[in-house]
Amino acid sequence: MLNNINNRKAVPIILFRSLIGFNTRIIRYLVPLFLIFLSWNEYMYGLLFSVAGYLTTGAIIGLGYITDVKKRKYTMIIGIGVSAISLVLFYFAGLSEIRWWMIASYSLFGISGQLAQLSLTTLMADITSTKKEKTKLFSYMAFFWNFMGVIAPLVGGGILALFNLFQTQKSSYLSLLLFVAAFLFITMLLAFKFPIPDTTKETASEISKGEEWKNFEDKDKKPIRLQLISFFVCEAIIGFTSGIAIPFIQFYIISYFETSDFIWSVILASSNVGIAFGSLFMYNLSDKFGNEKSLAFLHFLVPALAFGITLGTSLPVVSTFFVLRGTAANMSRPAWNSFFYGWLPPKYRGTSTGFVSAGRRLARALGTQSGSFIFGALGAWTFPLATAGYPIAIMIPVVVQLLLKKKTKKDDEVQILADTSERF
């Protein structure tokens, strides 16, 4: 599976991305349950996620720049450590039920987690040489990330059930927070000992072969900038529409169907099973049809599946479409990463990732804040209407790339004709 030197370097990157995924997915499982238990209404519920999104947006470009100028291994370690601290703060905030303190500490968790994830994602892009290799290794990374998403809710649900035998439900939620904080701290200590690779900008550039940015870096950088803007617009549209839909799909399933903690953990785990195996299948799909066609197909599928959530009248039916929608929307990430990083020179990857992520997160925060009112007005019809933005968004960078390649080919033909006429 990992049969060359650069691919073997991917193993510790995938390992720590998976460990971070385990912790992150438990928190994603836990926080909606805890907020609903504390009787937060739609507005306050949406506010926690939107404020966290705003603050992460403000920090993420700077975080990306830091990963470009510092060793990515150590920026990852810092991110993990601060994540552990933020959960301890969230514990005390939840204990006292001070809402603004809870929002602030959850926001810090989001910011620090992004620093760790940015470090590992850009490092994976640095050590891979071709578009095909990038898609393959990002597929493995996505598989294990989402496999942890299967395990984490089940572990979280099991721990909560165990804690509930000995203490109140609120105490069980808070105890699980401390469990995750301790696990993050152990993960941080392990990171110092593992041989996590690191690359310089120069070696990363030498490793790259046949990536789109190499066609423009030494001549005209405008196409790279234009493509980066198209990525930004695409992610911003998806961020806004997913911000409207996703938190309230979870709220809808938990509240309207009176879903228990354990059943919710099973639903989340099922969703991540689909995404995990979909991520592995993504490599074959992309290899056969290309990254761009595969991305377009899956993004057109998302709003169609969201209709199933809206029209479903029972928890099993709604949960099935929830799983399918999540799979279609998220299994495409390996192909997206390959498409995205193929356009970015290594020396700008962290900053560019931060720039695009900032657009997505700001838009998602705005979407979540708007979603609390939209969901209140439209109910479950919010979901297919909002996710209609997915297919529109993905076509923007795909079309821009086609136009840029067409223009480059035409310019090269003109140059060849000019060179030929000069010789004669």
Instruction: List the one residue out of 233, 257, 404, 234 whose CA is nearest residue 316.
Output: 257
Residue span of the structural domain in which 225 resides:
5-423
Q: Give just the sign of the alpha carbon dihedral 121, 26, 268, 235.
A: negative
Q: Any long-range contacts for 374-377 (C-beta under 8 Å, 24+ apart)?
A: 374/244, 375/42, 375/244, 375/248, 375/251, 375/252, 376/42
Average pLDDT for 69-91? 84
Measured CA to CA, the distance from residue 358 to residue 370 in angstroms comes to 18
pLDDT at 421: 45
- CATH code (residue 124): 1.20.1250.20
Residue for token pair 């006292």:
96
Query: Is the pTM here over 0.75, yes or no?
Result: no
Structure confidence at residue 85 as a pLDDT band (50, 70, 90)? very high
Task: Copy the structure tokens of residue 309.
Answer: 């959530």
Per residue in 172-199, pLDDT (tens digit) is 888 998 999 999 999 899 888 887 766 6
Per residue in 288-340, pLDDT (tens digit) is 888 888 888 999 989 999 888 888 888 999 999 999 998 888 888 888 888 88
Task: Work out the widest C-alpha separation in the chain, in whole angstroms.
Answer: 91
Residue 86 half-sphere exposure, CB side, CA atoms within 13 Å?
23
Structure confidence at residue 208 as a pLDDT band (50, 70, 90)? low
pLDDT at 181: 93
- Number of domains, the chain: 1
Measured CA to CA, the distance from residue 167 to residue 171 in angstroms comes to 6
Neighbours of 158 (CB within 10 A): 12
Structure confidence at residue 84 as a pLDDT band (50, 70, 90)? very high
Per residue in 344-361, pLDDT (tens digit) is 777 777 777 778 877 887
